[in-house]
């Protein structure tokens, strides 16, 4: 297990009587658990899981080795499902048809400032998508942009 330490940094020009800022090492400390589905899941299975867990903001889609391969944001999923005249034909389609195939993925140890920059530089349609956090290549958790 990697030890995560909290450091205190002194900003240049700040004397010791002023407050110092704690620097948290790695975005992984801010990651929260998320729902996970295998990459073999269908849109129907995804919808059932979201209906069972209505508070979930997203679902991370992982391969057999628990590596994230996609992201389903619940709001975008429902918009896509409702945009179809007859969404029933989507139920049996693989979730890869509706998921974001290229979500922002960062390693557990990535500094929050770098994650924030990368998140803000995404296209506007994905700027509010969750950020997928990995540890040694495997899914660890998610960070919502508003929590950066």
Q: pLDDT of 62-88, one tens digit each?
A: 999 999 999 999 999 999 888 876 767
Q: 136 is written with which tokens?
A: 């040694």
Tokens 């389903």: give the residue: 72
- pLDDT on residue 2: 35
Cβ 104 vs Cβ 132: under 8 Å: yes
Q: What is the pTM of this model?
A: 0.81
- pLDDT on residue 107: 97
Phi and psi (nearest 5°) for 46?
A: -65, -45
Q: pLDDT of 22-69, one tens digit each?
A: 444 799 999 999 999 999 999 999 999 999 999 999 999 999 999 999
Neighbours of 66 (CB within 10 A): 14
Q: pLDDT of 76-126, one tens digit each?
A: 999 988 887 676 788 899 999 999 999 999 999 999 999 999 999 999 999
Neighbours of 73 (CB within 10 A): 20
DSSP conformational letter for 30: G
CA–CA dist 9, 131 (Å, integer): 26
HSE value, Cβ hemisphere, 13 Å, CA-based, for 17: 0
Q: Is the pLDDT of residue 6 over 50?
A: no
């Amino acid at each position: 297990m990697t030890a995560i330490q909290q450091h205190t940094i002194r900003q240049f020009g700040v004397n010791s009587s002023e407050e110092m800022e704690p620097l948290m090492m790695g975005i992984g400390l801010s990651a929260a658990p998320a729902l996970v589905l295998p990459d073999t899941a269908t849109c129907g299975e995804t919808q059932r899981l979201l209906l069972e867990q209505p508070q979930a903001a997203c679902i991370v889609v992982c391969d057999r080795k628990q590596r994230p391969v996609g992201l389903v944001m619940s709001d975008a999923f429902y918009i896509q499902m409702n945009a179809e005249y007859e969404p029933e034909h989507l139920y049996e389609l693989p979730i890869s048809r509706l998921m974001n195939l290229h979500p922002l993925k960062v390693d557990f140890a990535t500094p929050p400032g770098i994650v924030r920059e990368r998140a803000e530089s995404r296209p506007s349609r994905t700027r509010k998508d969750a950020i997928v956090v990995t540890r040694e290549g495997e899914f660890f958790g998610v960070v919502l942009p508003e929590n950066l």
